[in-house]
């Protein structure tokens, strides 16, 4: 299995509901380093799994719809705690939709999965892996 990973970041604001979140129930900001890993069994005739530049652009485009936003005000997240785990799933789902739509080109049709990891800090992260 081959894997290509690209990295970007996003800055969001949000709050949580529930006593388990303590002071994070108040509005606060978060900056995430985001890794998107594309995995598949075969390389194309050029020896490439996916075009790294295009994969980086695709991740940036997906994150641009989240960054500098208060997620509490976004209809897509109504009634949901936007935990790191939830956001990893959202980014993975949005990337997979665009991969399936052909936005990474022909070689990407051979991909098996996408894994998105959001790094909250240098010591904590959460990931979501989804099949394509």
pLDDT averaged over every residue in the chain: 95
Does residue 107 carry a pLDDT above 90? no
For each of the domains in the chain, give its residue range(s) and CATH number, in order of start. Answer: 2-131 (3.30.479.10)
Query: Taking the C-alpha atoms of 28, 77, 87 and 121 in order, what is their torsion angle to the nearest 10 degrees?
Result: 0
The stretch 1-27 carries a mean pLDDT of: 95
pLDDT one-digit tens code per residue, 35-59: 999 999 999 999 999 999 999 999 9
Give CA separation, 26 vs 5, 12, 20, in Å: 34, 14, 12
Does residue 106 carry a pLDDT above 90? no
Q: Model-level pTM?
A: 0.94
Residue with tokens 């070689």: 107
The stretch 10-26 carries a mean pLDDT of: 94
pLDDT on residue 108? 87
Does residue 127 carry a pLDDT above 90? yes
pLDDT confidence band for 110 (50 / 70 / 90): confident
| Residue among 125, 115, 107, 131 at smallest CA distance from 33 | 125
């Amino acid at each position: 299995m081959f894997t290509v990973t690209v990295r970007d970041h996003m800055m969001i604001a949000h709050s949580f509901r529930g006593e388990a979140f303590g002071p994070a129930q108040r509005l606060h900001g978060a900056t995430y380093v985001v890794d998107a890993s594309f995995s598949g069994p075969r390389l194309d005739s050029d020896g490439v799994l996916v075009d790294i530049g295009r994969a980086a652009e695709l991740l940036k485009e997906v994150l641009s719809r989240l960054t500098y936003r208060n997620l509490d005000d976004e209809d897509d997240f109504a009634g949901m705690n936007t935990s790191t785990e939830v956001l990893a799933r959202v980014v993975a789902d949005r990337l997979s939709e665009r991969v399936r739509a052909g936005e990474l080109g022909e070689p990407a049709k051979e991909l098996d999965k996408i894994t998105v990891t959001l790094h909250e800090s240098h010591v904590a992260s959460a990931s979501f892996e989804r099949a394509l």
